[in-house]
Amino acid sequence: MTTSAAAGAQASVPIATTRLDPGPCYAAVRSRDRRFDGVFWTAVRTTGIYCRPSCPARTPAAGNVTFHPTAASAQAAGYRACKRCLPDATPGSPEWDLRAGVAGRAVRLIADGVVDREGVEGLARRVGYTPRHLGRVLVAELGAGPLALARARRAQTARVLIETTDLGFADIAFAAGFSSVRQFNDTVREVYDASPTELRHRTSRGAPGQGGGRSPGPEGTLTLRLPVRTPFAASALLDFLAYHLVPGVETAGPGWYARTLDLPHGPGVLHLALADPPDPWEHDPHPVGGTTQVLATFTLTDLRDTTAAVERTRRLLDADCDPLAVAEHLGPDPVLGPLVARHPGLRVPGQVDGEETAIRTVIGQQVSVTGARTVTGRIVAAHGVRVDTGVPGLTHLFPRTDVLAAVDPETLPMPRARGRALVRLAAALAGGEVSLDRGPERDAVRERMLALRGIGPWTADYVAMRALAHPDVFLPTDVGVRIALTRLGRAPAAEVARADAWRPWCSYALLHLWQTLMPPTPAGAPAPSPAEPDPTPAVPED
């Protein structure tokens, strides 16, 4: 059985497995352990409801409960969501990124809305299985098939929109991915034991919700609160994103980050408020993790892109990370321990578009971060689609791979060899030879990338970490790692040689080292002052 160790003297409890052990699960429910919200769900036979482990209601008798690895599994068994603890308003399980098996890859694609857009056949094709076999795998591991999982996701999105916006119910139905208003009404009643009108009325009377207020905004603008496990180093994440931002596509300032989104049905804009939540480590050396919420505002051309926009933002935030498990493993390390204490809850910055991440990684080979930003900004201006966002600094969508695949490498503002590598990668992405939608196996993606001339291990592994959410990537040849270790008074060769001790969280170890080189987010500027030296060295060219 898979387990996640707790902080301090807390006992280990199962994360997400085919067979959840009732004993440890019930112990988590009795202690109302918030760390396992979103990891498993508790269904109560006597009431017909399912709850998150931390539900404040009276703990049911052990003989009256069953445990489910997904909300969809509980719903498929006939249970409805608890009105008190809102069990679907939780981060997802960190197990999907840790294992990255078939079920995990399918769950991520379903969350992105693939079933709504392409059906079960499209989902199965992306994962590489027949629809029948994929259904068997998902039922065996998650207790629900792809349609039930997609239905649970639609119900969750619908509830959030009902309780946090003034959108009409027809708009909400299609924004959540339902094919009809009738299907929307029936599903909401079945899952939440309330009509959409009752859900909205309950929220207006002050019932707990997930939203950021009901104030009206421009058409197509939604403001939502995205659940993230604590501790959460929001300012450190902001520093990383702000330092690497691409002119025209991204902008940032103190406490916020914004960027354009190229979504399935049209362009959009994301604005994130990134402020550190209260630090639970300040007064308690062994805190019990909880959940904070990140305020996200989306401006969408088409509300059908709501699900995709939310899921891609959650990837960017690394929202499903289990920070206490990472801290427990890395905290005792003589090198990383002080860094973990300095930035509790540090995340691995994800992405809103895997193909964009790969292209940006190739551009950044053998140049400083400042130089890569400049070059990427020029490529965006020349080949990206101009969009009118109304946000200063956000003027373009990142160029699509089919456009870059047709570019003459000689015209790109970079060395010819790297330009040819970029065009080859763009062609492989556009043609489907390499897929970064998190459907294929990570090792298979890496092999296909390495088969492309000009793509080496550093690039393939960096893309795996950022685009595929791989939690266990280390870059032994990275110059920044060696500079960081030297500044910490350590011998780089010796520390790199023992990096296996940091597994399975090497990606987080890498980010802790890089964070020592990161400048703070500039006030109202897209990049550090030219007078300030670039702390991030050139990346080795593959």
Which residues are marked as active site? 51, 478
Rounded distance, CA 42 to CA 49, Å?
Answer: 8
315 to each of 97, 349, 354, 397, how far by Cα in Å? 11, 8, 10, 19
Pair 93, 37: CB distance under 8 Å: no
Rounded CA-CA distance 495/189 in Å is 56
Tokens of 511: 């980010």
Sign of CA dihedral 70, 71, 72, 77: positive
Q: Could you give the angle at the alpha carbon of 105 between the alpha carbons of 99 and 110, nearest 5°?
A: 140
Beta bridge partners of 211: 224
Structure tokens at 53: 């482990």
CB 317 within 8 A of CB 347: yes
How many whole angstroms separate alpha carbon 72 and alpha carbon 144?
Answer: 6
Quote the CA–CA distance of 87 and 44 in Å, as a whole number.
Answer: 13
The CA-CA-CA angle for residues 233, 236, 242, to 5°, reads: 140
DSSP state letters, 284-331: -SSPPP-EEEEEEEEEESSGGGHHHHHHHHHHHHTTT--HHHHHHHHT
**Token code pair at residue 424:** 């080859």
Rounded to a whole number of angstroms, the CA Rg of the chain reads 23
Cα 319 to the center of its chain, rounded Å: 5
Tokens of 486: 């030297």
Do the beta carbons of residue 386 and residue 394 sit within 8 Å?
no
Q: Please list, in sequence order, all residues whose beta carbon lies within 8 angstroms of the beta carbon of residue 336, skipping any fewer than 6 positions away.
A: 330, 502, 509, 512, 513
Length of the chain: 542
Q: Which amino acid is at 428?
A: A
Burial (CB count <10 Å: 0-12, 13-18, 19+), residue 494: exposed
Is 365 within 8 Å of 375 (Cβ atoms)?
Answer: no
CB 385 within 8 A of CB 268: no
Counting other chains too, the contacts that 8-11 makes at CB distance below 8 Å and 24 or more residues apart are 8/285, 8/286, 9/286, 10/286, 10/288
- Asked if residues 471 and 373 have their Cβ atoms less than 8 Å apart, the reply is no
Residue 77: which of 175, 156, 191, 179 has the closest Cα?
191
SS3 14: strand
